[in-house]
Structure 1
Amino acid sequence: MAERRITPGRLRRRLTIAFILVAGLSAAALATGSYLVVREDRLTGSVDRALDQSRFNLVLAGEVVDEGGIRGVVEALQRRGEFTTVATSGESAFSSSLSLGAGDVPRDLGSLVTRGELGYERVTLRDVPYLVAGGRVAESELDVYFFFDERELHDELDQLRTILLVGVGAVALLAGIVGWILARRTLAPVARASEAARSLAEGLLETRIPVERADEFGAWAASFNEMADALQGKIVALSQAQSRERRFTADVAHELRTPLTALVAEASLLAEHIDSLPADARRPAELLVADVGRLRGLVDDLMEISRLDAGAEPLRREPVDLGATVASVVRAHDADGRVRVDEEPVTIESDRRRLERILGNLVGNALAHGNGEAAVRVSNEEGSAVVEVTDRGPGIPAEHLPHVFERFYKADPSRAGPGSGLGLAIARENARLLGGDVEVASEPGHGARFTLRLPVTESLHAGHDSVECPDDDGERPPEGGSR
C-alpha cells in the first residue's frame, strides 16, 4: 500500500480560509443589508421631498395660471427650485429646459395625472436619472410635471457601495492575517507533537513536549510525555533483555566449548573404532557421533552469532572468483551431483571465508528442505554480483517469509530437523557485513529461492579490521540453515 503523502500546513490553511470565509461572509451580509437600508431610505426620502415640493408647486401654479397662462406658470415655478418644469394643457406644452419636453413624460404617469391624481415615476433620459412627479392644477386643465435630477443621489449610493465593498475586502484581509496568526499559535502544539513523535520514531527516546498551557493542549502534551516515558521504559527493558539474552548465549557457548572439545575428540576416536564394536552397540555409537557433530555445529553457530553481535568479527578483503567459489562450495556439500550450477565469471572484492559461509548455509538449506534437488545461478546484474539458490521443496508459506532470517525461527516448528535455526540468520548478518544482503521469495508448492546480492566493487564496512583472525579451533565447513 502506497504511503500517503502528508503536506505540512494544510490544517493551518483550512483554518485561515475558514476565518476569511466567516468574516468575509458576515461583513458582506452586513454591508449588503446596510446598503439596501440606506438606499431605500434615501430613495424614499427623495420621493417624499419631491411629492411635497410638487404639491406646493401645484398650489402656486393655481394662483398664477389665470394671470400668466401656461408660460407664466412654468417661469414662476422654475424660480423656486432645482428641477425642470414641463406644463401641458390640451395640445399646448411648455418646458423650462430645452433638453426636456412633453415627450419625455412617462405615459403611465401622464395617464395618472390626467385622472387628477398626484404621482411619480423614475426614468433615465439620455443617461441621466430623473424622478418625475406630476399633478393637475386645481380647477383647470393644466398638467404640470417636475423632473428632479437624481444624479447626485445615485453618485452618493455608488460611493457608499464602493466604500462597503472596500470595507468587506479589508475585513477579509484582516481576517486572513488574524486567522493565520491564530491558527499558527493554536496549531503550534500540534507541530511540536508531530516533531516529537517523529523524533521518537527515529529513536530519540528522550524526546518530550514541554507542558506550557493549562488547557486541552497541555493535557495532550502531558499524555504524550507519559506515553513516551512508558515507551522508553519498554524499549530499555527489551534492550536490556536482549543484551542479557545475547550475553547468556555467548556465555553458554563459551562454557560448552571446553567440554565439547573433549567430547568431539572422544566421538572422533569412537568413530575410528566403530567397526570393532559389537553389532548391538554400533548403531547407538553412530547416533552418538552424529549428535556430537550436530552439537558442535550448534555451539559454533552460537559462538559466531555472539561474535557478530559484539562486532568482533574481523574481515579480510581480497579478489574472489565468485563462480569458482560457488562451484567449490557446491562440491563440498553435494557429493551426489544433485545441485545444478549455472555460473558466469564474476570477480568481487570480499572476505572469502565469510562468502563460503554464506554460500554453504544457502546450499545446505536448499538440500535439506528442497527434496534433495537444487539449482545455483551466478550472474552480474547492474553492478551487483547475484547468486540465486533455488530448491524444489514445498516452499515457504507467505506468513513465514518475513521471519525466515530471524534467529531460531523455523517455518514448520512441528518438524524435528537437524538445523539450529541460526544458519539463515548468520548468512544474512555476514552478507550485510560484506555490503550486500540475502532475500527470499517463495510460493507454496513451488520451492523457495534465496538471492545473495553483493557489490562487485565495494570496500568493507568501516569499523572492521582488514586482518583475518581465525576461530579458536580453526574453521569448520559451512553448514546449512534451517527454515
Structure 2
Amino acid sequence: MAGRAVPPGRLRRRLTIAFVLVAGVSAGLLAGGTGLLLRQSWLDASLHQAAADARYQLVLAGQFLPLTDQRSTELLTSFEGSGRHVVLVDGPARPSHPSYAPTLGTQLRATVADGQLGYQRSAPAERPRLLVVGGRIPGSTAELYVITVEDDIAADLGQLRTALLAGWVLVVLLAAGVGHLLARRTLEPVGRASRAARALTEGLLATRLPVRGRDEFSVWAASFNEMAEALESKIAALSAAQARERRFTADVAHELRTPVTALVAAASLLREHLDQLPDDARPAARLLVGDVVRLRRLVEDLMEISRLDAGRERPTVEPVDAPALLRGIVAARGWSERVLVCGDPVALRTDPRRLERVLANLVANAVEHGGGEIRATVSGVGPLVVFEVTDQGPGIAAEHLPRLFDRFHKVDPSRSAPGSGLGLAIAREHAALLGGVLSAYSEPGVGSRFRLELPALGPTRPHEGVPRPV
C-alpha cells in the first residue's frame, strides 16, 4: 500500500517555528519583565523624591500661618515663583497655576485628612502627566498639594518600550535565521537518508549513506548501510534463484518438446484404434491418451511462459471487436450452454491473439472450477475496456487470493484438479504485456469474479516487454 507523500521541508519548518517560538517567548518575557521593573523603579524614585520635596515644602508653608486670604495668595505666588506648582486647600481648592489644577481624589483627601502624606498619579493617557503629593501644613488644618510633572519619565518609558520591542523583533529574526540554519544542518542526514531510501525503492541497490562522526546520525547511517547491504544480497540471491528457475523451466520445456511430440503422435494413433483393442486394455489406453494430452498442454504452457520470461514477446496491436471476440471464444470451445456472454460494442485496440489467450484462460477457469451461472461481460469504463468473468461456484478462500496468479499454485491442496497451475499466471503476463490489470475477487460460498482492465487505445508501452518485480 502506498504511503501518503510528505511535502519536503515540513519538519524543517516545524523545527524553525519551534525555535522561533521558544526564542520569541523567552525574549518577550525577558523584555516585558525588564520593562516592568525599570518602569516601577523610575516611578518609585520619582515618588520618593516628590515626597521628600513635599515634606520640605510643607515646612516652608508653615511660615505663612495664620492663613488669611492675603497670606494664602502670597503663599501660592511664592511657590509658583520658585517653580513649584501647588494646590492650597483651606476651604475651596486654590491652584497656584490654572493649568496645573488636577482633581484631587477622595482617597487622597482622606489620607491627608488623617494627617498622613498621600499621593496620586494622573492616568497614563493624560497630558501633562502629574504626580500629586500632599499633606497638612504643620500647625494648621489647611492642606498643601505639591505637583510634579512626570512627562519626562513618560517619554523615557516610551523610548524604553520602543527599544525593547525593537530588540525583541531583532531577537526573533535572529532566532529564525539561526533556527533555520540549525534545522537544515540537523535534518541534512535525514534528507540524505530519505533520498537514499527513495533510490533503493527505484532499484539502485548500491546506494549507501556517508558515515561521519560518532553521533546518533552516524550510527543511523551505519545501520542503514548494513540494511542496504543485506537487502542487496537478499535481492541478488532471489534474482539468481528466479533466473535459475526460469532457465530450468525453459530447459525442461525444450527438452520435453521433442519426446512429447512423439508421444502425442503415438497417442493420437492409439486413440484412433481404441475400438480394436481388447476390452480390458481400453481403460488403460484411454488413461494414457488423456495423460499425454495433459502433458502436451503442460509443455505448451511451459514453452509459453519461458518465452514471456525471455521478454521477446511483442504485442501486435489492431482494432478488436471485443464482444464478438468473447462470443467466439465461448462458442469455439463448446461453452455456449454454460456461459452467458453479454456486452455493448466498444472501441478497443489491442493484440487479439493475446487477449483471446487471457479470456480463454479466465472462462476455462470458471467452467472447470466454478459453478452455477457463469457470465462473461465486456463494457467501456472511461478510457478503459473492462472484461469480467463471474461464477456462482464455491469461491476461493481468502488465504489463496494473494497467490492466485502465482505459477503452479493450486487452490486444491491435493492438486487433483485439472490444469497445470499456469493458466492464470500466463493470463496475468499477457494482461501486463497488453498494458492491462488482471484482478480477482472471491467470497467462499458466493462465487468468484475475475476482472481484466485494458486501455481502449492500446498499450502505452507496447515494446518494452513485461515488467517483472523481484
Return the TM-score normalized by structure 2: 0.88
Q: Which runs of 5+ in 2 are unaligned?
A: 466-470
**338-347 or 267-276: which moved more?**
338-347
Change (3 A) 1:194 1:326: same
Cα distance, 1:239 vs. partner? 0.7
Residue 280 of structure 1 aligns to a residue whose secondary structure is coil
* Separation in 2, partners of 1:283, 1:170: 100
Identify which of 75, 78, 87 aligns with 1:76: 78
Of 400-409 and 372-381, deviating more is 372-381
For 1:135 and 1:196, locate their aligned partners in 2 and report how far apart those are by CA, in whole Å.
82
Which residue does 2:468 correspond to in 1?
none
Alpha carbons of structure 1 residues 323 and 28: separation in structure 2 relative to 1, 3 Å: closer
| Cα deviation digits, residues 110-137 of structure 1 (max 9, x gap) | 4444454433332459643222222334
Structure 1 gaps, min length 5: 466-483
Q: Please show how residues 22-61 of structure 1 align to structure 2 within 5 Å.
A: 22-61=22-61
CA distance in 2, matches of 1:76, 1:345: 116
Tell me whether 1:109 sits opposite 2:108 in the alignment.
Answer: yes
2-structure distance, mates of 1:335, 1:25: 80
Aligned-pair distance for 1:152? 1.5
Is the contact made by 1:333 and 1:364 (CA closer than 8 Å) also made in structure 2? no
CA distance in 1, matches of 2:357, 2:106: 112
Q: How many Å apart are 1:200 and its aligned residue?
A: 1.1
Distance 2:183 2:9 in 1: 10
1:116-265 superposed matches below 5 A: 116-123=115-122, 127-265=127-265
Q: Distance in 2 between matches of 1:93 and 1:451?
A: 103
Mean Cα deviation higher: 119-128 or 430-439: 119-128
Change (3 A) 1:74 1:248: same
SS of residue paired to 2:130: strand
Q: Provide the C-alpha distance between the structure 1 equivalents of 2:331 and 2:126, rounded to a whole number of angstroms.
A: 110
Against the structure 1 CA distance between its residues 56 and 415, is the aligned structure 2 distance closer, same or farther, given a 3 Å change threshold? same
| Distance apart, 1:94 and its partner CA | 5.0
Q: Which AA in structure 2 matches 1:17?
A: I
The answer on whether the counterparts of 2:64 and 2:72 sit within 8 Å (CA) in structure 1 is no
Give deviations 1:315-351, integer Å, cap 9, x for gaps. 4445544444333332332268333333555564444
Q: How does 1:318-357 map onto structure 2 within 5 Å? A: 318-334=318-334, 337-342=337-342, 344-345=344-345, 348-357=348-357
Q: Hey, what does 1:87 align to over in structure 2?
A: 88
Q: What's 1:470 paired with?
A: none
Seen in structure 2, the aligned counterparts of structure 1 residues 77 and 307 have a Cα distance that, compared at 3 Å, is same
Per-residue CA deviations over 1:422-450 (Å, capped at 9, x if unaligned) read 01111221233233343323332232222
CA contact 1:440–1:449 (8 Å) conserved in 2: yes
Describe the superposition over 1:136-159 as per-residue Cα deviations: whole angstroms up to 9, x where unpaired. Answer: 343445533211111221221222
Does structure 1 conserve the Cα–Cα contact (< 8 Å) formed by 2:385 and 2:453? yes
Give the secondary structure class of the aligned counterpart of 2:281: helix
Partner of 1:407: 407
Give the length in aligned residue pairs: 462
Alpha-carbon distance change, 455 to 177 in structure 1, aligned in 2, over 3 angstroms: closer
After superposition, the C-alpha distances for 1:366-400 in whole angstroms (9 at most, x for unaligned) are 21112386333344444544433333321222332
Residues 209, 225 of structure 1: 8 Å contact kept = yes
CA RMSD in angstroms comes to: 3.0
What's the CA shift string for 1:219-247, capped at 9, x where partnerless?
11111111111111111111111001100
Aligned-pair CA distance for 1:50: 1.1
Q: Which moved more, 1:140-149 or 1:451-460?
A: 451-460
The answer on whether the counterparts of 1:313 and 1:464 sit within 8 Å (CA) in structure 2 is no
Question: Aligned ranges for residues 353-372 of structure 1 at < 5 Å?
Answer: 353-371=353-371
Alignment CA distance shift 1:96-1:429 (3 Å) = same
Shift of 1:182: 1.1
TM-score scaled by structure 1?
0.86
Deviation at 1:17, TM superposition (A): 1.9
